[in-house]
């Protein structure tokens, strides 16, 4: 992102406050309201250095039915929004944002489209107007469209030989199979290329006029914000913008998937990718969620020290980056646990052996009381740090708005994590992480780089 530091205007002297990012204080500082059309407006006003302010405009629209076969159309539609409006060219938009010292990026897929905004207090109203213009009145210029298509195709072509995108696609196709055309279907890279080639400008225009609207959206703002003024601006810009079709979120249930091993050859690539994981039948309000969340933190989710990191990166020295992720959803029971590593292909056998050993050791012996206490401290510090980052906070408020949650719930979860014992953690892990169900995907130049044997 850009830095406000170099700006020598009237806000240069504004220092930030020492903001208390505790859940209690955040909840007290959060101002929630709803516009006439149903869009939620959420603000956390605070004094920031240089008067900086972060915002998200998050639109939701459409349904599984409305999106059938239109995923690629939805992506291109969102990507076209900052390429020109009915009154400004792409270059004029860029110049205007530069003048306003603003960074804006717009993206979207399927049933959502969002703008990520960074600017200063005095410029926020003008920036919100500009973003509204991009999202609501794009010009969909034919030349810009062909240029975008060309860029996307070039990116996809290069992805076809890259271990990371190939492994991700293979993993998702196996773990979340869907019929072709379903918005949650994962196309192969070849299919994505065909889809991008097939999209027409008329389809993009039609998608936008039929589905875009703000009535199921969230506008969140964190930082130096004039509450009364922004409420007025938001009401004027978004308060009457409605989608012409009903909105239904894409439901995604748990799938019990038979494990497999997929090996993808990527000739002449120096790095290889390893992904291993399973689907977890759990929502994030499940009684075991705090325990599995902390277990994942100790296995590979933690920032610095984790079981997988210590073993694979430090002790064996065979990975440039290793970690794990655990995710569960507030409404769907489609949880996931996965580990990933980047490594030299000749070390694939050692890497996989080390991964399996560490997972099995954790499931057999659990974690020590000391390890658990250190992990809790690290986890809470990480969470506190994330809440102190205004851009991350603006993000968190979007999902809070949609799922009707508050910081009181977060505080409750942290109390549950703080109370966990080693026995509770290992028991929860055993209930939800079955090593026999783990699918492994490996992508790399394995044919030319013969594996080194595992160290006994």
398 and 332 Cβ atoms separated by less than 8 Å: no
Q: Is residue 177 part of a domain?
A: yes
- Distance, in Å, from the CA atom of 107 to the CA atom of 399, rounded to the nearest integer, reads 17
Total domains in the fold of the chain: 2
Q: Is residue 248 part of a domain?
A: no
Provide CB contacts within 8 A for 295, sequence distance 6+: 326, 362, 367, 425, 426, 428, 429, 433
Quote the domain boundaries for residue 114: 23-238
Closest CA to 328 of 399, 270, 386, 392: 399
- For residue 454, what pLDDT is reported? 61
Residues paired with 115 in a beta bridge: 57, 106
Q: Are residues 47 and 84 in the same domain?
A: yes
Q: Are residues 229 and 350 in the same domain?
A: no
Q: Is residue 246 part of a domain?
A: no
- Distance, in Å, from the CA atom of 76 to the CA atom of 207, rounded to the nearest integer, reads 10
Q: Give the burial string for 434-456 (b: 16+ CB within 10 Å, else e).
A: eeeebbbbbbbbbeebeeeeeee
- For residue 451, what pLDDT is reported? 67
Q: Are residues 355 and 229 in the same domain?
A: no
What confidence category does residue 342 fall into, taking pLDDT thresholds of 50, 70 and 90?
Answer: very high
- For residue 453, what pLDDT is reported? 63
Q: Are residues 212 and 72 in the same domain?
A: yes
Name, of 256-265, 302-311, 379-388, the range with top average pLDDT.
256-265
Residue 427 belongs to domain with CATH number? 3.30.830.10
Percent of the chain with pLDDT over 90: 91
Q: Are residues 216 and 75 in the same domain?
A: yes
- For residue 302, what pLDDT is reported? 81
What confidence category does residue 9 fall into, taking pLDDT thresholds of 50, 70 and 90?
Answer: very low
CB atoms within 10 A of CB 395: 19
Q: Are residues 373 and 415 in the same domain?
A: yes
pLDDT single digits (tens) 234-265: 999 999 999 999 999 999 999 999 999 999 99
Closest CA to 182 of 34, 269, 67, 49: 67
- Distance, in Å, from the CA atom of 284 to the CA atom of 333, rounded to the nearest integer, reads 8
- For residue 17, what pLDDT is reported? 82
Which of 39-53, 314-328, 331-345, 424-438 comes out lowest in average pLDDT? 314-328
Check residues 68 and 14 and name the one with the higher pLDDT. 68
Q: Are residues 44 and 78 in the same domain?
A: yes
Q: Are residues 228 and 287 in the same domain?
A: no
pLDDT of 305 over the 50 cut: yes
Q: Is residue 6 part of a domain?
A: no
Domain boundary among 238, 271, 299: 238
pLDDT single digits (tens) 427-449: 999 999 999 999 999 999 999 98
Q: Are residues 351 and 407 in the same domain?
A: yes
Q: Is residue 333 part of a domain?
A: yes
Q: Is residue 419 part of a domain?
A: yes
| Torsion sign over Cα 134, 135, 137, 138 | positive
Q: Is residue 244 part of a domain?
A: no
pLDDT single digits (tens) 101-159: 999 999 999 999 999 999 999 999 999 999 999 999 999 999 999 999 999 999 999 99
pLDDT of 3 over the 60 cut: no
pTM metric for this prediction: 0.92
Q: Is residue 451 part of a domain?
A: no
Q: Are residues 222 and 148 in the same domain?
A: yes
pLDDT of 312 over the 70 cut: yes
What confidence category does residue 47 fall into, taking pLDDT thresholds of 50, 70 and 90?
Answer: very high
pLDDT of 11 over the 90 cut: no
The SS3 assignment for 33 reads: strand
Angle 412-417-420 (CA atoms, 0-180°, nearest 5)? 130
The SS3 assignment for 61 reads: coil
Average pLDDT for the chain: 94
Closest CA to 395 of 218, 249, 237, 133: 218
- For residue 190, what pLDDT is reported? 98
Domain boundary among 238, 273, 289: 238
CB atoms within 10 A of CB 396: 21
Q: Are residues 177 and 307 in the same domain?
A: no
- Residue 85 DSSP symbol: B
Which residue's entry shows tokens 């978004």?
Answer: 238
pLDDT of 211 over the 60 cut: yes
Closest CA to 30 of 16, 48, 42, 47: 42
Q: In what order do the strands lie in the sheet with 112-120?
A: 31-34, 40-45, 218-223, 52-60, 112-120, 103-109
Closest CA to 273 of 355, 174, 365: 355
Q: Are residues 277 and 143 in the same domain?
A: no
């Amino acid at each position: 992102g850009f830095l406000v530091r170099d700006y020598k205007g009237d806000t240069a002297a504004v220092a930030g406050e020492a903001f208390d990012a505790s859940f209690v204080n955040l909840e007290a500082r959060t101002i929630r309201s709803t516009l006439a059309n149903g869009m939620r407006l959420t603000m956390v006003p605070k004094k920031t250095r240089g008067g900086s302010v972060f915002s998200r405009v998050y639109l939701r629209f459409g349904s599984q039915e409305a999106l059938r076969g239109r995923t690629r159309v939805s992506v291109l539609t969102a990507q076209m929004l900052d390429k020109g409006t009915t009154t400004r060219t792409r270059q004029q938009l860029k110049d205007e944002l530069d003048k306003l010292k603003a960074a804006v990026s717009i993206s979207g897929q399927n049933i959502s489209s969002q703008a990520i905004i960074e600017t200063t207090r005095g410029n926020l109203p003008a920036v919100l107007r500009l973003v509204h213009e991009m999202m609501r009145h794009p010009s969909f210029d034919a030349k810009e469209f062909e240029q975008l298509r060309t860029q996307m195709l070039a990116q996809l072509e290069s992805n076809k030989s890259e271990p990371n995108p190939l492994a991700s696609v293979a993993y998702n196709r196996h773990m979340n199979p869907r019929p072709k055309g379903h918005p949650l279907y994962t196309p192969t890279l070849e299919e994505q290329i065909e889809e991008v080639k097939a999209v027409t400008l008329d389809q993009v225009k039609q998608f936008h006029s039929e589905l875009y609207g703000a009535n199921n959206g969230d506008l969140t703002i964190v930082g130096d914000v004039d509450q009364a003024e922004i409420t007025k601006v938001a009401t004027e810009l978004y308060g009457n913008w409605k989608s012409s079709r009903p909105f239904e979120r894409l439901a995604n249930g748990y799938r019990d998937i038979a494990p497999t091993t997929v090996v993808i050859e990527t000739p002449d690539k120096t790095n290889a990718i390893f992904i291993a994981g399973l689907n977890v039948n759990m929502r994030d309000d499940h009684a075991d969620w705090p325990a599995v969340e902390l277990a994942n933190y100790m296995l590979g989710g933690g920032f610095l020290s984790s079981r997988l990191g210590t073993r694979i990166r430090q002790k064996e020295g065979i990975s440039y980056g290793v970690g794990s992720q655990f995710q569960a959803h507030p409404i769907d029971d489609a949880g996931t646990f996965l580990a990933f590593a980047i490594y030299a292909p000749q070390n694939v056998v050692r890497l996989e052996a080390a991964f399996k050993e560490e997972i099995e050791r954790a499931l057999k012996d659990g974690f020590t009381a000391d390890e658990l206490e250190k992990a809790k401290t690290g986890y809470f510090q990480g969470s506190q740090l994330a809440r102190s980052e205004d851009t991350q906070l603006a993000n968190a408020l979007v999902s809070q708005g949609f799922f009707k949650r508050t910081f009181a719930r977060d505080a409750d979860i942290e109390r549950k994590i703080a109370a966990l014992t080693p026995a509770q953690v290992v028991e929860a892990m055993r209930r939800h992480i079955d090593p026999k169900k783990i699918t492994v995907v490996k992508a790399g130049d394995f044919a030319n780089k013969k594996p080194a044997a595992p160290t006994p």
